[in-house]
Amino acid sequence: MDMKRSSLGRTLALAASALAVLAAASPSSAGVPRRTGGAEAPAPAAPVADPAFDAFVDPALFGRAWADTDPALLTDLGLQMAEGERVLMRPHKGITSDEVLGVAAKMAAEKHDAATLARLAKAADVLGKKELAGQVGAARKLASAARDAAPAATVSVETTTREGFVAYKEFLRRIDAAKFAGDAKALDAVAKAATRAEMLTEEDRKAIAKAAEEAKEAMPKDAAPDAAVVALKKLAGESRSDPQSGDYDTHYTVPGSPPVHAYITMNGDGTGTFTMDDGSTGDIAVSGFNPGATNPQGPQFPAVMTGTWSTSTDSGTFRWQFFGNGRTLNGTWKDDNGGASGKWYGSRPNGGGPIHP
């Protein structure tokens, strides 16, 4: 599949009548996933918000804890969630307190945070959480291991700009997030995105690639993404309205054809996937993100995301702008092979409908 002429586009080319119907589709129906070639478009993921727990834990803090990789704050949130479970006599709809505290233990081990691990051990004992106690014990052994100086964590102030330094630290944060998630594919995507980040020096790119490779080597073979981390990332993304997390129902334009429907899932770590109606898929790797600014007294500047898209046969770049607190996107794509380009636009699944170019 390539961006210029996707599997969906080839199917449509073989069915002229279907082409005519789709070309005549009204804007109001453009955001509805269509059945094409016998395949079903991905259904919008259900939100994980649970308002009943808001009295016990501030959902916005999950976004901060994940963005800052802060095990102490994540421990606070897990303990508050445990109290909510006790009062409501049920778990949160999106994630349990055991899962939050387990991720906090893993994060604390990676950061060698002995104080947070001690607090987690005490919490496991007081709350009678035997599985958590085992996780904390294993995390303490990992945290107590000698830690060598990591060359990838340093950067030359003589050759790096301010923007380059910020980007470099962001790529290292994404590597940490992928390590916590046990997601080798995300590590590959981060390293690939770094090769496209113009603000990085060649030395920075090599250091990021090395850090990603070392993180992969430390993972068990055939490691699957940690389900608890996946749930936490989703909750964090919803709480922040972060364009780098969650789902977007989008279309991209292809010269000479109707817009192609693509359902995007952003993972919160600078990576994502997109799925066409015929089931073909592609990968997203973010190389730059500017959160923009909102100024009630003056102009509002939208968030801007740049990066690369790739499929099994093709690749290119994209540039998206986000509006309405991350609910809608409007941007462009370009193909590496031949220079084809077009519009790319969409919205959150229940965010008020796509913006059309």
Across 106-126, average pLDDT: 93
Q: What six digits make up the tokens of 49?
A: 């918000």
The alpha carbon dihedral of 204, 206, 208, 214 has a sign of negative
Across 186-212, average pLDDT: 84
- What share of the chain has pLDDT > 70, as a percent? 75
| Position 113 pLDDT exceeds 80 | yes
| Position 47 pLDDT exceeds 60 | no
Contact status, residue 207 vs residue 214, Cβ threshold 8 Å: no
Across 170-191, average pLDDT: 81
- What pLDDT is stored for residue 239 in this prediction? 61
CA distance 212 to 285: 14
CA distance 255 to 266: 26
Q: In the structure, what pLDDT confidence band is assigned to residue 100 with cuts at 50, 70 and 90?
A: very high
**253: number of Cβ within 10 Å:** 18
The alpha carbon dihedral of 179, 184, 189, 194 has a sign of positive
Which tens digits make up the pLDDT trace of 298-338? 445 678 889 889 888 888 999 999 887 677 899 999 998 87
Which tens digits make up the pLDDT trace of 196-205? 777 788 888 8
pTM, two decimal places: 0.59
| Position 132 pLDDT exceeds 80 | yes
Q: In the structure, what pLDDT confidence band is assigned to residue 144 with cuts at 50, 70 and 90?
A: confident
CA–CA distances in Å: residue 54 to residues 33, 63, 237, 246, 296: 32, 14, 16, 20, 27
**What CATH number does the domain located at 237-357 have?**
2.40.128.120
CA distance 81 to 77: 6
The alpha carbon dihedral of 70, 245, 220, 98 has a sign of positive
Q: In the structure, what pLDDT confidence band is assigned to residue 275 with cuts at 50, 70 and 90?
A: very high
Higher pLDDT: 334 or 60? It is: 334
Q: What six digits make up the tokens of 182?
A: 């046990």
Higher pLDDT: 261 or 194? It is: 261
Locate the domains of the chain by residue range.
51-147, 151-217, 237-357
| Position 355 pLDDT exceeds 50 | no
Higher pLDDT: 25 or 287? It is: 287
